[in-house]
Amino acid sequence: MASLFSCCLGCCGDGGSGHVALKEMPTVQLDTHHMGTDVVIVKSGRRICGTGGCLANAPLHQNKSYFEFKIQSTGVWGVGVATQKMNLNQVPMGRDTHSLVLRHDGSVYHNNEEKNRLPANSLPQEGDVVGITYDHVELNLFLNGKDMQCPATGIRGTVYPVVYVDDSAILDCQFCDFYHTPPQGFEKILFEQQIF
Q: Where are the domains of the chain?
A: 30-174
Q: What is the mean pLDDT of residues 11-40?
A: 76
Burial of 2 by CB count in 10 Å (0-12 exposed, 13-18 middle, 19+ buried)? exposed
pTM of the model: 0.86
| pLDDT band of 26, cuts 50, 70, 90 | confident
With a pLDDT cut of 70, the percent of the chain lying above it is 86
Selection from 51, 47, 49 nearest residue 38 by Cα: 51
DSSP per residue over 94-112, as a string? -SSTTEEEEETTSEEEETT
Fold of 30-174: Jelly Rolls (2.60.120)
Which string of b and e fits 160-188 if b means at least 16 CB within 10 Å? Answer: bbbbbbbeebbbbbbbeebeeebeeebeb
- 92 residue type, one letter: P
Which residues, in sequence order, are CB contacts of 149 under 8 Å at separation 6+? none
Calpha distance 157→14 (Å, rounded) = 43
Give residue 10's pLDDT. Answer: 45
> Is cis: bond before 119, omega within 30 of 0?
no
* Average pLDDT value for the chain: 90
Burial of 100 by CB count in 10 Å (0-12 exposed, 13-18 middle, 19+ buried)? buried
Distances (CA, A) of 93 to 46, 52, 115: 20, 9, 13
Calpha distance 152→164 (Å, rounded) = 18
Q: Cβ(193)–Cβ(72) under 8 Å?
A: no
Give residue 14's pLDDT. Answer: 47
